[in-house]
Amino acid sequence: MRSTCFGLCLLIAITFPASADTQPPSVVNGVSVTAISSTAVRVTWNRPWDDQSVAGYNVYRNGSYFATVFDTNFVDTDVLPKSDYRYGIVAFDNAKNFNTVSNEVSVRTGGDDNDDTVAPPPPEPDNGTVSVADGLFAEIQNGNAAVIKWRAPSGNVKGYNVYRNNGYMATVPTPEFRDNNMQWGEDYRYQIVTFNEANQFSQKSEALTVNTANVQGDLRQDNDAVQNDPVVNSSAVPAGYSLVFSDEFTGYSLDTSKWNSSYRWGPGWAINGEKQYYVDRINNPDFGHSPFEFDGNTLTISAIRTPDHLAASANWQPYLSGALTTFNKFKMRYGYVEIRAKLPKGRGLWSAFWMLHQTDNDRRPEIDVLEYIGDQPNTIFNTYHYYDNWNLRSTPSYEAPGPDYSADFHTYGMKWEPGKITWYVDGVARNTHIDGNVAWEDMYLLVNLAVGGWWPGDPDGSTVFPAQYKIDYIRAYQP
């Protein structure tokens, strides 16, 4: 998956001295993709030219960011047998100049009689000599994925054929199967056929119906009904947690005891190829424009095209926008944070709510509570980044598909525990990351509306300005 990497590129950028290097590497060519097994794909490419040096590569799979690597090859072990994938590569240099994505190359993973994890083509099960699998259940991973598990039957079992909606889907050697190709809000009906070393097959198991929009296993939402569903805008504040920070934005100006109106490295540093200048309203009130508007109930961060008379003051960036942070004003270590917001729609718009390390260290962790690309209005992205031995590590950009999130207010939350991060939309857990490298240091809050950049691309004629990121509240809780 795709890294949302909003702060990822930022974190790398502020680690290096300021440089006049503005030349991105040449576009990567020579991309080659090989299925090295039914569950692994190798991707290789040529090293591109750069006037300084190439620092690393972002791997895109099926059009979305998937991983960051620092060599000209990558092995993807998160693939399914008999499935189609396409890969593209983006190179970046130490100054964080990103080129455009390479030509994509496609591959289909294998699965034949020579692969001992795959059975012969499944016949219609017609005998009872092999025990039927039972106890099917699902662990929902995100809006597009679930792991289906079952109880292994007794006897000489070689493997299992997985059926979805009565069609053969895959063969697996162990009693679980991860389906990464689901649509949020749709029902999928799974059955399992067991087979033994003699290629004798059981009857199909009892069916399990799975819907990744299920809440606690039984409440369902769908894209048409979610606007009126009672759980929309619900909160996921854990029981026993107390409020430790909040801004309800009921006034008519920024609360300077809570917020800074620029990143801690100042407004002059543009990252990720973005095209906005963040107006520091607090420290530069005479700039001539404020991106922050208040109506007594909500804060609106607006992005506009830079007026000609402000172009020089805006470092000649073509857009003006705003960012807020609690750096040196509020920090926390573990807890739950939440924003209720209406997100801006349109190509080239990149809104976010995230957390960043309070004190510089060699790990430099970042938790992206939400990132929203304006021309993908039905998807929220969740990502975690950190450094390990000076190498960037990033989770996939987990997706939370749903309705058009720009159409109304929704709540977006994140529970941060030792070794675990859980992301929520409207009170429903949508994605989880469990790892010993989850941040353990103090972190602060950030909220911003970026324009342009390597991920969303530049605005086009369809993008409406002013673009508006409307925020009802931001809150933080701890046990």
The pLDDT tens digits of the residues spanning 359-391 come to 888 888 999 999 999 999 999 999 999 887 777
CA distance 152 to 137: 13
Cis peptide before 459 (omega within 30 of 0): no
3-state secondary structure of 9: helix
The CA distances from residue 158 to 4, 115, 120, 164, in Å, are 40, 13, 12, 20
What's phi and psi for 99, nearest 5 deg? -85, 180
Provide the 8-state DSSP code for 7.
H
* Pairing of the two strands 208-210 and 319-321: unpaired
Q: Which fold has domain 134-210?
A: Immunoglobulin-like (2.60.40)
CA distance 328 to 309: 33
Residue 90 · residue 100 · CB < 8 Å? yes
3-state secondary structure of 442: coil
CB atoms within 10 A of CB 87: 23
Per-residue pLDDT of the chain (479 residues; tens, 9 = 90+): 333 344 434 433 344 344 467 888 888 888 888 887 778 888 988 888 888 889 889 999 988 788 888 888 888 888 888 888 899 999 988 888 888 888 888 888 876 434 444 444 455 444 557 888 888 888 877 777 788 988 888 778 888 888 888 887 778 888 888 887 777 778 888 999 888 887 788 888 888 888 877 533 322 223 333 333 334 567 889 988 999 999 999 988 999 999 999 998 888 777 788 999 999 999 999 999 999 999 888 999 999 999 999 999 999 999 999 999 999 999 999 999 999 999 999 999 999 999 999 988 888 899 999 999 999 999 999 999 988 777 778 888 899 998 999 999 999 999 999 999 999 999 999 999 988 889 999 999 999 999 999 889 999 989 999 999 999 999 999 98
**CA-CA-CA-CA torsion sign (312, 315, 320, 325):** negative
| Predicted model pTM | 0.57
CA distance 440 to 115: 43
CA distance 343 to 340: 10
Catalytic residue among 104, 206, 338, 371: 371
Residue 366 appears among annotated catalytic residues = yes
Please say whether the structural domain 6-108 has been given the CATH code 1.10.10.60.
no
Residue 454 · residue 273 · CB < 8 Å? yes
CA distance 183 to 89: 26
Residue 293 appears among annotated catalytic residues = no
Using the structure block, give the residue that is written with the tokens 């189609």. Answer: 84
At a CB cut-off of 8 Å and minimum separation 6, what does 432 contact? 141, 420, 421, 422, 423
Residue 31 · residue 87 · CB < 8 Å? yes
CA distance 74 to 177: 24
Using the structure block, give the residue that is written with the tokens 């033994």. Answer: 196
CA distance 158 to 172: 9
Query: Which strands form 32-37's sheet, in the order they lie side by side?
Result: 32-37, 40-44, 73-76
Catalytic residue among 338, 366, 399, 441: 366
Domains in the chain: boundaries: 6-108, 134-210, 242-478
CA nearest 344: which of 332, 352, 355, 333? 352
134-210 and 242-478 share one fold: no
Class of the CATH-defined domain 242-478: mainly beta
97-145 pLDDT, tens per residue? 888 888 888 888 876 434 444 444 455 444 557 888 888 888 877 777 7
Using the structure block, give the residue that is written with the tokens 């000609």. Answer: 308
